[in-house]
Structure 1
């Protein structure tokens, strides 16, 4: 199964609470923190809502 690496590139300070919640639920804390998640519809939907804050790259197993 494919995976995606999500890196937080912009601060979530002064963002709407829904965006802050998504960032926290993905496991991102500080700027430049990264997580590897499975590439599925739920994760892609979350990434879409905060795409202006993160950088995404695909990771091969």
Structure 2
């Protein structure tokens, strides 16, 4: 499977509790922090739920 790199690019100040929990589930804490996750439908769905807060790129 391929991997994807997810980077938090916006803060969580005005986000609701569900969005904060989603970002925490992805393993992100600070603006600019990146994580590498497998490109699965579950991880794609998490990233899609907070697409206005993160950027997603392909990673090797």
TM-score by length of 2: 0.96
Q: Which residue of 1 aligns with 2:51?
A: 51
Deviation digits for residues 3-24 of structure 1, max 9, x if unmatched?
0000000001120100000001
Where in structure 1 are there 5+ consecutive unaligned residues? none
Helix, strand or coil: the match of 2:46? Answer: helix
Aligned residues: 60
TM-score by length of 1: 0.95
Q: Which residue of 2 aligns with 1:37?
A: 37
Deviation digits for residues 7-59 of structure 1, max 9, x if unmatched?
00000112010000000111000000000000000000001100000011001
Separation in structure 1 between the aligned mates of residue 2 and residue 12 of structure 2, nearest angstrom: 27
Where in structure 2 are there 5+ consecutive unaligned residues? none
Cα RMSD (Å): 0.6
Separation in structure 2 between the aligned mates of residue 13 and residue 22 of structure 1, nearest angstrom: 14
